[in-house]
Amino acid sequence: MRDRETPDLLAELALDLRNCWDHTTHSVWSKIDPELWALTHNPWLVLQTASRTKIETLNADPQFREQLSELVHRQRESLKRPAWFQQAYPDSALGCVAFFSMEYALSEALPIYSGGLGNVAGDYLKAASDLAVPIVGVGLLYQQGYFRQIIDVDGTQRALNPYNDPGQLPVSPVRNADGDWLRLSINLPGHKVWLRAWQVQVGRLKLYLLDSNDPANQPAYRGITSELYGGGSELRLTQELVLGIGGWRLLHELGIKPEVCHLNEGHAAFVVLERARSFMAENDVAFDVGLNVTRVGNLFTTHTPVAAGFDRFAPSLISGYLARYAREQLQIDLSRLLALGREHPDDHDEPFSMAYLAVRGCGAINGVSRLHAVVSRRIFQCLFPRWPDAEVPVGHVTNGVHTPTWDSAAADSLWTKACGQDRWRGLMDTVGSNIRCVADAELWELRATNRLELVRYVRQRLATELAARGEEPAIAQSVFDPNTLTLGFARRFTSYKRPNQLLHDPERLVRILTNPDRPVQLVIAGKAHPDDKPGQAMVQAWVRFVQRPDVRRRAVFLSDYDLLLAERLVQGADLWLNTPRRPWEASGTSGMKVLVNGGLNLSELDGWWAEAYSPEVGWALGDGQEHGDDPAWDAAEADALYEILEQRVIPDFYTRDHDGIPTRWVLTMRESMARLTPQFSANRAVREYTDKYYADAATAYRERARDRGKSAQSLLDWKAALLQHWADVRFGDLQVTTSAGKHHFQVQAYLGDLTPDQVRVELYAQSRDGAHPLRYQMTQGNPLPGSAKAFGYSAEVPASRAPDDYTPRVVPWHPAARIPLEESHILWFR
């Protein structure tokens, strides 16, 4: 092996974030610097700080060289092998999906995330790499990222923002064909802002990150990419301009031409404008044509369960930053741009909503759980007046987690033995049946091993935190017991997540934790946003509780919740708790992460758990209804939470057979692992997005883009006719008869100056019991005598429902239009 080959191969491994889920490389970094590796899990940092002598010593070790060469060879070969996408879509029109997100939680080595949104994005890219779906990520490289948490002795949270040194992050500069560092610019008021580009290797995929910390920029603009979710509205707006407009221009500079743009939340919505502008410039067409061509290739995933959660900006702020862009680049008036982000386009005082821009600039919208789609349809119903909630065009793909990232070494070994090495890289169709064959003793041994590892970790980390606060670290060695039922709770601390629900009756909780025959131990973690005072007060309440002498051995609060801590908690907890107010948990993924490790869930019937729960796989809190922030209901649910723990969870854990195995607990474990682990994996989510959205969006975009957007112009002409003549459309008489088990409907429809092929006349009935609404296309009959463009329409429907349940309506129709997303006119008979 050449002198430079070992450093080169180490750099190749260290710069590929596959190392954060392919654990075979971990021993390499432990050999270089075991202490730094254990603290950071950052291979690039370990390599950058290693001495030349250390690398030379390893290079002289034949066994190490052989191990390194084998790891690199195996990794390269795995990237060449065809995967699920090539097998499922051998002739697909889908060449590239550009995935835009404000944050990515890929590894603690790259701290550019805050919580759930970043976790979803990071796990999504990893699973896409496993499946070889052609995705490229776009995001921002923050100089400081999200804040780090310190807890004072009295429980007060303090926020620190350490600097992210790019030289110690697993990123590399993006270079152009001449080898120069790629830099591009966007115009902000009065100034050009230079953006530097970085790339992150995520297995088969690349994530590109933009950074405004360029010496050529003024200090204020260098700080655009300073903090994640820091500063005020103006900083947030400039970040989103960089992400959307700068992100699309970066792809253009790299020669990447995605058919599909996937907006992971509304932060990225400006990409719909820049993508339309790009099509305008390349094809010499107007903005409306550019937008109508490109929107069918855009997908908007909303993660927000309340309308107030979307980013909204004052009209004056949008005007200051985008007036020139609208006029010179999009060639439209500012009022036209502002209308795209408003419920009421002519209301000059209404703020500009990034979510509304995303809705009007995308060809599909989805929520992140089945329940969240229902909530989102209510949120966006205002954009589709007179359309029923059930027909507001919001689908859903429930989130999933990247199981190889979150499984413990013991869990990985068990799943490999039962299901094979490639179990998470295909259809997973036999995973459930295979894991059901695992013996009770093996499953229980998995839990015992993981719990012991968590206890060791808690003691070690707590000792460090106690010493930092000037307390006696030796106290940590008496904390927790590896044979005790262990509960985990780790969330963002904010009111709607109700992190203090378990603390509602402190004395009852103390009795549960300290029961001498059936004790329980509890590990808690979580941050409150620096501006969220009630959230910080809840952190302080928990810290003070765990400091009580009577519970100190049974409950701990670990500070600075991050990916490394999350990994340990979800691996070691026997039971994961989640107590949000329904329906404000859009999806939630922390409880999904315990599944692969045999952990169980006790959660509110909200988000993912509302569709995952059955009595065979865990425990549910709540009645499946919405109660707002009613304190009385919070108290009732707290009592129910204690009762479930006391009467069901704890007895199941401690009731053992003659071999010391809790058979009922293990039975629930087995069913949870078999049924839920594949269902709530990012593997399933990526395949579902591909099947449900990406493939169709790529085909639709290519069709509309053909002939410089000729079909889009036809669509615009149709929409203009509807706008001009819809007011003249009306119904005449309706007649209903019933015979032979069917209702026979006949209705007169006057279409004014519209033609019958521009609309459809339907019968509509509301859904029952959560089913889809009923829609029957009515058949056009002969023209009505003496009337221009007036026709009789008829339909027959089963008489299983009353005739009054059905209502005739007129809706727009065009073979290429997505109704009502692209055209929301509707006329009801009554």
792-813 tens-digit pLDDT? 999 999 999 999 999 999 999 9
Number of other residues whose CB lies within 10 A of the CB of residue 270: 27
Strand partners, 112: 104
> If pLDDT is split at 50, 70 and 90, which confidence band does 1 have?
very low
Which is nearest to 272 in space by CA: 236, 309, 247? Answer: 247
- 501-520 tens-digit pLDDT: 999 999 999 999 999 999 99
- pLDDT at 2 exceeding the cut of 70: no
Strand partners, 600: 575
CA separation for the pair 726, 746 (Å, rounded): 22
Q: Give all strands (DSSP E) within 463-559, no chain letters.
A: 485-490, 520-525, 555-558
Tell me the three-class secondary structure of 246-289, residue by residue.
HHHHHHHHCCCCCCEEEEECHHHCHHHHHHHHHHHHHHCCCHHH
DSSP strand pairing (759-765 vs 774-777): antiparallel
CA separation for the pair 556, 545 (Å, rounded): 9
DSSP 244: I
Helix (H) or strand (E) holding 544: helix 533-546
Q: Which residues of 690-717 are buried (b: 16+ CB within 10 A; e: fewer)?
A: bebbbbbbbbbbeebbeeebebbbebbe
Q: Give SS3 for 517.
A: coil
CA angle 549, 454, 473 (to 5 degrees): 45
- pLDDT at 770 exceeding the cut of 80: no
Rounded to the nearest 5°, which phi and psi values hold at 302?
-95, 140
CA separation for the pair 120, 463 (Å, rounded): 31
CA separation for the pair 24, 6 (Å, rounded): 17
Q: Give SS3 for 101.
A: strand
Cα end-to-end span (Å), the chain: 82
How far is Cα of residue 736 from the mean position of the Cα atoms in its chain? Answer: 48
DSSP 616: T
CA separation for the pair 174, 90 (Å, rounded): 30
Q: Give SS3 for 94.
A: coil
**Backbone conformation region of residue 717, classed left if phi is above 0, alpha if psi is from -120 to 50, else beta:** alpha
pLDDT at 81: 87
**Backbone conformation region of residue 316, classed left if phi is above 0, alpha if psi is from -120 to 50, else beta:** alpha
- 734-745 tens-digit pLDDT: 999 999 999 999
CA angle 800, 801, 803 (to 5 degrees): 125
Q: Mean of the pLDDT values across residues 738-761?
A: 96
> If pLDDT is split at 50, 70 and 90, which confidence band does 5 have?
confident
> If pLDDT is split at 50, 70 and 90, which confidence band does 4 have?
low
- pTM of the complete model beyond 0.85: yes
User: Which two structure tokens, joined as six digits, stand for 695?
Assistant: 């493939």
Strand partners, 158: 150
- 157-213 tens-digit pLDDT: 999 989 999 999 999 999 988 888 999 999 988 789 999 999 999 999 999 999 999
Q: Are 590 and 577 in contact (CB under 8 A)?
A: no
- Say what percent of the chain tops pLDDT 90: 87
Distance set, CA 250 to CA 444, 473, 612 (Å): 51, 50, 40
**How are the residues of the chain apportioned to helix, strand and coil, as percentages rounded to the nearest 5?**
45, 20, 35
How far is Cα of residue 283 from the mean position of the Cα atoms in its chain? Answer: 34
- 342-360 tens-digit pLDDT: 999 999 999 999 999 999 9
- 371-381 tens-digit pLDDT: 999 999 999 99
Spatial CB neighbours of 770, under 8 Å, sequence gap ≥ 6: none
Q: Give SS3 for 547.
A: coil
pLDDT at 509: 98
Spatial CB neighbours of 660, under 8 Å, sequence gap ≥ 6: none
CA separation for the pair 777, 794 (Å, rounded): 9
Q: Give SS3 for 720.
A: helix
If one compares 214 and 59, the residue with the highest pLDDT of the two is 214
If one compares 470 and 527, the residue with the highest pLDDT of the two is 527
> If pLDDT is split at 50, 70 and 90, which confidence band does 769 have?
confident
Rounded to the nearest 5°, which phi and psi values hold at 149?
-105, 135
If one compares 650 and 306, the residue with the highest pLDDT of the two is 650
Domains and CATH numbers, the chain: 5-80 (no CATH), 84-399+694-701 (3.40.50.2000), 407-680 (3.40.50.2000), 729-828 (2.60.40)
- pLDDT at 317 exceeding the cut of 70: yes
Q: Are 332 and 286 in contact (CB under 8 A)?
A: no
Flag the least confident range among 44-53, 309-318, 511-520: 44-53
How far is Cα of residue 312 from the mean position of the Cα atoms in its chain? Answer: 20
User: Which two structure tokens, joined as six digits, stand for 82?
Assistant: 């065809």
- pLDDT at 61 exceeding the cut of 60: yes
Mean predicted lDDT score pLDDT of the chain: 94
Q: Mean of the pLDDT values across residues 551-564?
A: 95
Q: Look-up: residue for tokens 């008496």?
A: 478
CA separation for the pair 527, 523 (Å, rounded): 14
Q: Look-up: residue for tokens 């044979």?
A: 483
